[in-house]
Structure 1
Amino acid sequence: MIQTPDAAAGTDTSADVKFRADVREWLVENLESEFRELRGLGGPGREHEAFDERLEWDRHLAAAGWTCLGWPEQYGGRDATLRQQVIFHEEYAKADAPSRVSHLGEELLGPTLLAFGTEEQKQRFLPGIRSVTELWCQGYSEPGAGSDLAAVTTSARLEGDEWRINGQKIWTSLAHLADWCFVIARTEPGSSRHHGLSYLLVPMRQDGVEVRPIIQLTGTAEFNEVFFDDARTEASLVVGEPGKGWGVAMGTLTFERGISTVGQQIRFARELADLEAVARDNGALENPVLAERIDQAWVGLRVLRAHALRTLASAHENVDPRTAAGQASVSKLLWANWHRDLGELAMDVLGAPGLIAQSPMGGLPGPSVVTQAAASGPVGRPPTDDLNEWQRLFLFSRADTIYGGSNEVQRNIISERVLGLPREAR
């Protein structure tokens, strides 16, 4: 039986034990209240599920002091230790609590502002992130750049006390619901690659911003195209120095692969355990090849966990920047490929019936369809009701190896920056 990994059992201090008990007790009590129907909803490929209700849940968390745990107390956090932050994400995932809608603000932009922002920027934006009253999206990828962030062409010019932004971003998660976007734009005409880029904070609700949803294979639309046509933002809303936004952007990517990935691994373990149950019920587990692949997936989960904990620990040490870049890229490659492979394994476990929509596959754990009652919020056509949970996993996990930095780019970072191999010809 595949087991959900526990948080380094036996290593908690007395303070950590109490913290774990407090988190667990609060989640049990509050997920049995008006939020009990939200268990397990949301996440990549499923952001359409009960979005408004999950937003209320996030704000409920904030009111109880369970958001932004690692932030300094002066900015609304708890000054929680790294260990306590890991504990929270583990217990949150074990409770099958709904996926958070404020991830981009809390886990990416918030830490970026704490590390690189001015005091004025912190005072202006951190309270809205902590209370989940302002939602954020990430303006990085472009049609002609993809995961090659240094090739962006979106431009911004300073006119008086405002930046004017022109260009296009793509694959922008939840842009149709966001209030603000952190945008990488070229602010020095004639500059190239990572030179001359700036990290701007841009309001989404203005005439110069147009959002067009991208309909995915699953029928949902959480990714978007974003067009900036003389969009404006204040001159002071550049994080770091103008023209030196590359370092800030790299800092954000490092935060993206941080503590929340520990909770992600527990959700992966639950998916694997459910798939093992399907394989046992339909006889697929008797196939020695499939049984071995399920075992290999379990081993892969342990590798993911070991690497994540080692990377998190080293983040608090004086690690060579090249090593840090390599660790983040290895982490992305490990989890993205593992989850993609799980989707393929699920299809093989289901066999021929898995190729048919609305097929009679009784006994599958988890919701087989997303009901319209749970599908509130996003634009785009409703999610396809003829896909079961495993078919959705298979289709959407193809994107895991692309968003957040494609496999090819991650391998280039490892080979060029860490191993010192010759740069890829461009």
Structure 2
Amino acid sequence: MDIELSPEDQAFRDEVRAFLAANLPREVIDGAASSPTVFVEPDIGQRWNAILAAKGWLAYQWPKEAGGTGWSPVQRYIFEKECALAGAPNLTVLGLKLVAPVIYTFGTPEQKAKYLPRILSGEDYWCQGFSEPGSGSDLASLQCRATLSEDGTHYKLNGSKIWTTHAHWANRMFALVRTDATVKKQAGISFVLVDMNQPGVSVRPLLTLAGDHEVNQVFLEDAIVPVEDRIGEEGDGWKLAKFLLENERGGSCHSPKLEYDLGQIEKDAAAEPDGRGGRLADDADWKRRVAKVRLGIQSLEMIELKILSEVAKGRPPGPQTSLCKLLASNLRQDVDLLAVDLYGTAGLQLDFARPFYGDNAPAAIHSRGAQVASARYLNSRAWTIFGGTNEVQAGIIARTVLGL
């Protein structure tokens, strides 16, 4: 695996850096740094999306025929890394990186023409309806029922979805529903697109330990989905879900964002006292902890680059994406624990007012980094659960990578 950039890729990297320096607003960087959640609030995320859309770079992972940039896997990695190192917020992954690839890979021409432009324009804001009460890690056991009408024109959905990120902002939801309860459980699932702004759809907030309103429970009571908003055939849902989850676990590079956050912690450590008249950055135990996390991040980056190398050769990401998800989840928690320990008692503040940015933000004690530390630490407890728990990822790795 050659990890040296070609002259063309180096030129592309320089172009991305110049664009970020000129177009990434300071208040967007600050808003992202002050957000303890995985996804920033829409006012920050959608503003950055619009800037990228105007440049033609928003759909950087999409093929050209779907309205994307058509960039190579190496260019996509360079772009993600440079954005992360510049402090840019995460993009609205649910629409751009999860449902869009399903639509442009498996959707009809009509579905592509209807939904892909609306994702790029921000007109549609998506949430994901997969997990249910009692059906999280065992996703195939989901019970949300979709009953086909007698005339075959639409489904009626009844059931609920839980841990639905940003459902309170979304006007569309992509969901897995059970269309046949008489067959093997994986075979009776279909993939549908749900209009959230209709009678029969209600959203109940679920506040996290950190006090964030990021996730919700969605209740569906005779909600209508036209048949033309089913992706693929009835019973294709499990296949499409596996495709989507493989993209979710391996379609992004986690290491640059972790590297950026660790770098911010190191900068702050240079100004924090160690309690013995020195600076925390010079403490031997602290340096060992930071070095251990950095080595983990570098190891993750090598695995991500290996997957990138396979994708560049036209091969699917494969089950190694589960290894990336597992390592990234643990490292995310390690980085956030370092932040809490860095600020001492100031890092224990937990103000439940949100957001932490803007004119009406609550006053920070000590620093912005200290203000967000505990909330981010508590929020990142979910990393080892969402997108497939650590136990699920370990099982996949054991079966498909190690052959156990």
TM bin (shorter chain): 0.7 to 0.9
Match of 2:11? 18
1:89 aligns to 2:89 (yes or no): no
Equivalent position to 2:356, from 357, 366, 370: 370
Equivalent position to 1:258, from 246, 250, 258: 250
Unaligned segments of structure 2, at least 5 residues: 275-279
How far residue 248 of structure 1 moved from its aligned partner, in angstroms, is: 0.6
Equivalent residue letter for 2:7:
T
Equivalent residue letter for 1:13:
P
Match of 1:302? 298
CA contact (8 A) 1:45 1:222 kept: no
| Alpha-carbon distance change, 292 to 369 in structure 1, aligned in 2, over 3 angstroms | farther
Q: Deviations over 1:342-388 (max 9, x none)?
A: 22233334445544558xxxxxxxxx98145377xxxxxxx897771
TM-score by length of 2: 0.87
Deviating more after overlay: 76-85 vs 337-346 = 337-346
Match of 2:318? 324
| Alpha-carbon distance change, 374 to 135 in structure 1, aligned in 2, over 3 angstroms | farther
CA contact (8 A) 2:40 2:89 kept: no
Match of 2:375? 392
CA contact (8 A) 1:194 1:246 kept: yes
Q: Deviations over 1:297-347 (max 9, x none)?
A: 01001011011111232235576x8x812x121111000011112222333
Match of 1:59? 50
Match of 2:391? 408
Match of 1:343? 336
Equivalent residue letter for 1:271:
D
Match of 1:363? none
Supply the distance in 2 between the matched residues of 1:408 and 1:369 (Cα, whole angstroms).
Answer: 33
Equivalent residue letter for 2:94:
L
| Alpha-carbon distance change, 336 to 247 in structure 1, aligned in 2, over 3 angstroms | same
CA contact (8 A) 2:39 2:90 kept: no
Match of 2:264? 274
Match of 1:105? 95
How far residue 144 of structure 1 moved from its aligned partner, in angstroms, is: 0.4
Match of 1:191? 183
Equivalent residue letter for 2:224:
R
Match of 1:74? 65
Q: Deviations over 1:12-67 (max 9, x none)?
A: 332x2332232222222223xxx431114248744786632532331232122011
C-alpha RMSD over aligned residues = 2.7
Equivalent residue letter for 2:78:
I
Supply the distance in 1 between the matched residues of 2:324 and 2:117 (Cα, whole angstroms).
Answer: 30
Q: Percent identity, please.
A: 37
Supply the distance in 2 between the matched residues of 1:371 and 1:91 (Cα, whole angstroms).
Answer: 23
| Alpha-carbon distance change, 45 to 167 in structure 1, aligned in 2, over 3 angstroms | farther
CA contact (8 A) 1:187 1:243 kept: yes
Q: Deviations over 1:371-408 (max 9, x none)?
A: 45377xxxxxxx89777122122111111111111111
SS at match of 2:213: coil
CA contact (8 A) 1:214 1:224 kept: yes
Q: Deviations over 1:249-278 (max 9, x none)?
A: 0100111123432xx422211221222334
Equivalent residue letter for 2:109:
E
Equivalent residue letter for 2:108:
T
Paired residues, number: 388
TM-score by length of 1: 0.83
Match of 1:156? 146
